[in-house]
Amino acid sequence: MNKKEREKDVPKKVIFMGTPDFAVNALQELYNHFEVLLVITAPDKERSRRKMMPTPVKEAAFALKLPVLTPDNVNDIEVIEYIKKLQPDFLIEVAYGQLIKEDLLNLLPNRFLNIHPSLLPEYRGAAPIEQAILDGKKETGVSIMIVDKGLDNGDVLYSTMMSIDNEDDIYTLSDKLAKQGAKDIIYVIKNYDILYAQRKKQGKIFTYAKKITKEMGHVNWQSSSDDINNLIRALKVRPGVYTFYENIRIKIFNGISIYENSDKKPGTILNISSEGIDVSCGKGIFRVTELQFPNKKKMSVFDFVKGNTLEKGIIFE
């Protein structure tokens, strides 16, 4: 056996950095194929009832019996020195949540890789999955890129295009992209030398997916029914989609766009039935099929109409 063959048989050593559910698939696949030396994730956070809760990545790492580090600042010299001692072949980052500075990047030049859920240079930034749905896109994808000191502007090693189905929402699309990204990072590491030689620079033309704010979840009934449908599909989880009636905040979780028009003021309830609450929009009609009132459980409109407190002609704001 020659030297190259011996090197090929030695498992690659990786350090993984990630925090949310989206990153868990990648960690599990890396564990299945390589030697994961360390998992770095965000510190535990206070959740409901003042309980400290670990990140999804930390929970997954513990299940795999992997060592975990939860630094307040991953760029601290102590963290960098510890990573250096472990001598990884690759650093893999997936939605970690902290800005990576130059000293850490320089530990593994060109081998600090990121899974980004868009077809870069489209949708750099914090919310590429949500933005693709908001924009009504029919396709998106996953990019494996080299982490650089800029924001998602590193060279792209590999990308996979994926369709966005009409029924896809933030749950289903995130799941599809997470699974594809996990497959792709394995492929990239195994074929790194070839893909690095073929890497593509992103250039100066790009789009940006800005951070989602709570205010973005407020329904503007002047919008088209398609745009409102996209809003709900994209933001139903975070920050949540809502409208107001007499200062009562009503959350909306699901609905469908109806391609009819109304001469009523946008936001007006046109009809209430077991099929849904039909609301006039700037263009088209939106049928709400799942909603939630304050201090109540989420319910389908079928259940809602049994104790209906809304009436035809009411205007949502």
Which tokens belong to 300? 């389908």
H/E element holding 197? helix 192-197
Task: Look at residue 203 in the predicted model and tell me its pLDDT.
Answer: 84
Q: Is residue 8's pLDDT more than 70? A: no
Q: How confident is the model at residue 10 (pLDDT cuts 50, 70, 90)?
A: low
Task: Look at residue 4 in the predicted model and tell me its pLDDT.
Answer: 45
Q: Is residue 11's pLDDT more than 90? A: no
Superfamily of segment(s) 3-209 = Formyl transferase, N-terminal domain (3.40.50.170)
**pTM of the model as a whole:** 0.92
Instruction: Determine the Cα–Cα distance for residues 129 and 123; give it in Å rounded to an integer.
Output: 8
Instruction: Determine the Cα–Cα distance for residues 260 and 91; give it in Å rounded to an integer.
Output: 52
pLDDT above 90 covers a percentage of the chain that reads 85
The domain segmentation of the chain, as residue ranges, is 3-209, 215-307
pLDDT tens, residue by residue, 73-88: 999 999 999 999 999 9
Q: What value does the mean pLDDT take over residues 3-26?
A: 79
- Is there a common fold for 3-209 and 215-307? no
CB–CB of 175/162 below 8 Å?
no
Superfamily of segment(s) 215-307 = Formyl transferase, C-terminal domain (3.10.25.10)
Task: Look at residue 48 in the predicted model and tell me its pLDDT.
Answer: 66
For 56-77, the three-class secondary structure string (H helix, E strand, C coil) is: HHHHHHHHCCCCEECCCCCCCH
